[in-house]
Amino acid sequence: MSQALPDDPVTRPVNLPRFTETGAVDPKLAGTALALRGLTKAFGARTVVDAVSLDVPAGSFFGLVGPNGAGKTTTLSMVTGLLRPDAGRVFLTGVDVWADPVTAKTRMGVLPDGLKLFERLSGKELLGYLGRLRGIAPEVVDQRAGELLTVLDLADAGDKLVADYSTGMRKKVTLAAALLHTPPVLLLDEPLEAVDPVSARVIRTVLTRFTTNGGTVIFSSHVMALVEELCSHVAVMAAGRIIASGELGQVRGSATSLDDAFMHLVGADDAGTGGLEWLGSSQA
Amino acid sequence: MVGLFASLKWTLVTSRLRRSSRAVRAWTIVLLVVVLAVLLFIAFGLSQLRRVPDVAPLVVTGLYVAQLLGWALMPLVAFGVDETVDPQRFALLPLRAQTLQRGLLVTAVVGWLPVANIIVMIGAVISTSSPWALLPVALIAAGIQLITCVVLSRAAATAMSSLMASRRGRDLGVLVGFVLVAGYVALSALLNSGSGQNFLTEGAGRAAKVLGWTPPGALASLPYRLATGQYGAAALGLVIALVALGLVWWWWGRALHVRLTTVSSTSESGGAGASTLSASAGSATGTAAMARLVARRDAVLSWRDPMRRLPWLIVLFMAVFWPLVVFRGAAGGLAVFGVILGSLMAGSQSANQFGVEGSGLWLHLTAYADRARARGEVLGHAAAAILPGAVCVLIALVTVSSIGGDWTQTPAAAGVCLAALLGACAISSWVSASLPFAMPQSRKSLFASSVPGQKGRTSGAQVSILLGGLVSALPAAGLAVVSALVDPAWGWLALAVGLLSGAVMLLVAIPATADRYLATGPEILAVVSAGDRV
């Protein structure tokens, strides 16, 4: 099959051969951790992700921001192979995720939002199982799992069932599972949503260490302060489209904060104003 | 306020019907009409007991006691089915405890189950109203009985609500569900046996006399005691019933107060127990290693998750007891063929293998995409069903043959049963990938097997597995017929053919399932994830 140019917005249907275990990397995507080309997904008549094209530089801490319903989770689901796109292509470290999933899956660590784990395994068992599932040698898995549980402050809860974990603990053990096979790219959907401050600090520290060592972190969030603090690059998504992307300072422009820039970009400068004159008039 | 609660419950009861499609609504109405007809038939049968006034109070006593027990146990089995059972949902409303209690009582009386109870109780009332002048007394007694049932159920639910909202509580509920099913089957077997008939004629009468002094028994016996001039006994029985009602009402009020004013201290934390998964498993570097890893994980989860463990108890129970109960009179050792039900059930334990953990499937989808490991995964799920399934089937075959004292048809039956086991497992694997369905992940009830909007898929998959398992046993079954009619030696050929046909089906199904799973993983995930919300 002829390969479309990776930098073109390709919009062909994704009925691609699924099992080519080639691991071939397109040289035009060198230095790019993730490249999206014309990625599209519609549910019924509603187009949730609309021909999105995006480049994420390798080694960057990349924030995908947008209001609820912007299409962030749908985009990340298509990138991670959990949701089939209607059109477009996804290149992860140059490998087409949907044409060569065997190679692509070895190069990504995933932390989705709201999906279950194997609830009746303990944290330690879950990591041990997933490591072995990926074909890593048992002694390496056990050594890495032990270190990850310690660093992520889960050592005392390692023998507890995942079903009994708090939200923060679940995020941390999922992050541990995502790091276990040392992937070059981490794809995280709202990694700090509903997480307590201590766990959030631990996760942020680990992610920062990961990028310092050359890894790429791509995460979605709608907390602008967090993105501004952590990210080197950012893309703003609204109504299924990328409306701005680039280095943080470039996207922020002359605005005083990323939050102000974001409000301006999504056309929500006046959000929350007008009406409600009766507020504060309670006689109780 | 009471009217508001009644209208809330009515809205909840009818909302699912209103949201469903026209076809589903029509079928629901047909089902309701059938259930109504059955209930009316039961009520009519009960009312005919009027003709035997000495027996009617005994039967109604048993009925009322069973009814009270059923209502008391219901929160354990079906907590979460009725949104108004959990008082925590009303915690933020500015209501006094007494007002809330009265409102919740009304919500408990509005619903399909109370209506079904009332219909059956009308039959009980008529049966005990002899002479007719005692009809008002029987009606009042029935009213007190129903309110006692409802209040006891709500008191138990409120007292246990923090427990039932936890994983351990739900596990306990599933266990109670199994005990009820097993108890029902064992009681049916006992009553159908010779000793059961003696029990019915002698023991039941004595038991009913003792139960006559319990609150439900006293209410059931009230009209009879008045009719026979036992006024003292009637008054004492009434006092017992009213005091019991007062006590459960107080208990409910107390439980409500505690539940709404204190923070739950129930801890869900629990260790995983001895780890059998990580310590000894190797890495999935090929099909066989992957199969071992997945089978071991399934075994660990089956042991820890009551929703997986209890079906195995039911398989063993049905494999052994069902042939003994249903085919106990079969001549020539044919009862042993009844083990096929257990075989089909065991094979179906590998059904919906990608949906059992709900959206947890993503952990596998993001970990690998190669054929070797996909085949290993399917083989592992199949092995986790076949190995314990074969043990259950062999135990059942030996037990049933030993009790019947006839081993002539055992080889043929083993062939049929093993073919059904392997065939049902093969079909289960294929249907897992071609017709997956969501399974409720809340683990609230043993009896909830599908989610709204996927009942057709669930039923289709289950029927396919059952029929497929039966069809796969046909070659062995043909030889089993020859074994029964011509010479039992043919049974050994049936055994060989059964094993061979089952193995062939597995060999075909496993790679086909793996390829289908790899090709449609995201679509399967989308379907099974719906179970997370139920």
CB-nearest to B359 from A81, A116, A124 is: A116
d(CA B270, CA A162) in angstroms, rounded, equals: 10
| DSSP-assigned beta bridge partners for residue A235 | A64, A245
Q: What's residue B199's pLDDT?
A: 56
Residue A60: which of A95, A34, A86 has the closest Cα? Answer: A34
**Averaged over B343-358, what is the pLDDT?**
92
DSSP at A214:
T
The bridge status of strand A241-247 relative to strand A61-65 is: unpaired
- Give me the pLDDT at residue A16, please: 32
* Contact list, B525 vs chain A (CB under 8 Å): 82
Q: Both tokens of residue A74?
A: 């749908």
B526 touches chain A (CB under 8 A): yes
Find out whether B532 and B388 touch, Cβ atoms under 8 Å: no
Does some domain include residue A67? yes
Q: How many helices (H) and strands (E) does chain B have?
A: 20, 0
Q: Which of A274-278, B79-83, B215-219, B429-433 has the highest mean pLDDT?
A: B429-433
Distances (CA, A) of B235 to A196, B218, B320: 62, 9, 49
Mean pLDDT of B198-204: 60
Q: pLDDT tens, B99-118?
A: 888 888 888 888 888 899 99
Q: What's the whole-model pTM score?
A: 0.73
A18 within a domain of the structure (yes/no): yes
Q: How many domains does chain A have?
A: 1
Q: ipTM of this model?
A: 0.86
CATH number, domain containing residue A242: 3.40.50.300
pLDDT digits (tens, 9 = 90+) for B155-192: 888 877 666 656 666 666 666 666 666 676 666 666 66
Tokens 């026979």 correspond to B228
Query: Which residue's structure tokens are 């997480």?
Result: A195
Q: Is A160 helix (H, G, I), strand (E, B) or coil?
A: strand
* Full domain range(s) for residue A77: 1-107+216-268
CA distances from B134 to A11, B57, B65, B116, B141 (A): 81, 13, 21, 23, 11
Question: Do residue B366 and residue A118 have CB atoms under 8 angstroms apart?
Answer: no
Geometric angle at alpha carbon A214, from A208 and A216, rounded to 5° = 70
Which of A118, A135, A138 is closest, CB to CB, to B360? A118
Distance from C-alpha of B400 to C-alpha of B396, rounded to nearest angstrom = 6
Q: Is A236 helix (H, G, I), strand (E, B) or coil?
A: strand
pLDDT range class, residue A133, cuts 50, 70, 90: very high
Task: Determine the Cα–Cα distance for residues B286 and B377; give it in Å rounded to an integer.
Answer: 10
End-to-end CA distance of chain A: 73
| Yes or no, beta carbons of A133 and B366 under 8 Å apart | no
Residue with tokens 């006689």: A283
Structure token digits, residue A214: 């050359």
Give the one of B167, B284, B305 whose C-beta lies nearest to A132's C-beta: B284
Question: Contact B100/B154 with Cβ under 8 angstroms?
Answer: no
Q: Is the pLDDT of residue A2 over 50?
A: no
Q: Do B523 and A84 touch (CB under 8 A)?
A: yes
In a domain, A199, yes or no: no
- pLDDT on residue B79: 53
d(CA A75, CA A83): 9
| Gap between the Cα atoms of A222 and A72, Å rounded | 10
Look up tokens 């039932």; give the residue. Answer: B164
Nearest CA in chain A to B529: A115
Residue A6 pLDDT exceeds 50: no
Residues B409 and B338 sit within 8 Å (Cβ to Cβ): no
Least confident of A251-260, B238-247, B331-340, B390-399: B331-340
